[in-house]
Amino acid sequence: MAEVRIVQITDPADVPICAQLCREAVADDPFIRFMDLYNQEMDFIDETKKRLNNALDPANTDEIAFKAVLDVPEENGTTHEEIVGVAHWYHGNVTIPKYDTFMKEVQEEPNEIMPDEIAAGSGGSTPSSTTVVSPEPAVVVKNAEEAITHVYRQHGNAYISTVRGKRHVYCRRMMVSPKHQRKGIGRKLIEWGVNKADEENIVGYLNARPAAMKLYQAAGFEPVAPLNCVIPEGDEQFIVPTGYAMLRKPRPLADQVK
């Protein structure tokens, strides 16, 4: 494979291409299917475009987005650029989410942090989280609205309780085109955040889907809170494997050269 370059996204023309790539990357992810099904107010592609456009705004110094690109040779000897991966980072302090994090909690059984089969992702050659089966029975709620509220509240609480008061880098999107997965591109895309965190001696944070956990662990992230979906009544057969909020402690640069 030709060398992959990681380049900051600055051209708005790249945004729809990147959003489409992200959509294809998560097509098999049950969590995204869950959000598509129950959250009628959010469209994944529109939301991704909105986030990336925000990151491109030169006035926004807290966010940055990168594309992984391949130079694909043409028959006439020139090359054209193919975007094969996307990463979007927030860099700063906690911003207050628009949902109510104090809303009544849905009662769940305690969940052990990261059983081995989840930590390993699918483990196969095709990167997909669909083959990972959650060992937990579904926690059932009355309707889609409650299920979606639970997702936002849980993600918001995990984020705030983990990084409150700490300057941090937060990986908001990390996606590699399905036909280019397992070629080391994700490992390259995560470098900006890891280096930034180490340079500034700050923590890193992200929400991991099961298929991505090994990659994040290799970069130094540790699971700190499970992210479970609760399922609307009648859809109990819908299993969404547990994701994890992950935290990375900085590795001071001085330690790395020893």
The distance of closest approach from Cβ of residue 234 to ligand COA in the complex, given in angstroms and rounded to an integer, is 27
Element (H, E) at 54: helix 44-56
Q: Which is nearer to ligand COA, 81 or 236 (CB)?
A: 81
**Residue 182 CB, nearest approach to ligand COA (Å):** 4
The residue with its CB nearest to ligand COA is: 186
Which positions touch ligand COA (CB under 6 A)? 25-26, 29, 120-123, 127, 174-176, 181-187, 208-209, 211-212, 214-215
Cβ atoms 122, 201 nearer than 8 A: no
Q: 């547990």: which residue's tokens? A: 242
Reference 70, options 175, 177, 174; nearest CA is 177
Minimum gap (Å) between residue 120 Cβ and ligand COA: 6
CB of 193 to ligand COA, least distance (A): 13
> 139 CB contacts (<8 Å, ≥6 apart)?
106, 107, 108, 109, 228, 230, 231
Q: How far is the CB of 167 from ligand COA (least distance, A)?
A: 22
Q: Which is nearer to ligand COA, 164 or 182 (CB)?
A: 182
94 or 211: whose CB is closer to ligand COA? 211
At residue 66, what are phi and psi to the nearest 5 degrees?
-125, 150
Q: Cα 255 vs. chain centroid, distance in angstroms?
A: 28
The smaller minimum CB distance to ligand COA, of residues 141 and 213, is found at 213
Please state whether 182 falls in left (phi above 0), alpha (psi between -120 and 50) or beta: left
Cβ at position 86, least distance to ligand COA in Å:
9
Q: Answer yes or no: are the C-beta atoms of 223 and 213 closer than 8 Å.
A: yes
> Residue written as tokens 């995990």?
158
For residues 255 and 241, give the distance between their C-alpha atoms in angstroms, rounded to a whole number: 36
Q: Which is nearer to ligand COA, 27 or 253 (CB)?
A: 27
Distance (Å, rounded) from C-alpha 34 to C-alpha 146? 13
Closest to ligand COA by CB, 50 vs 183, is: 183
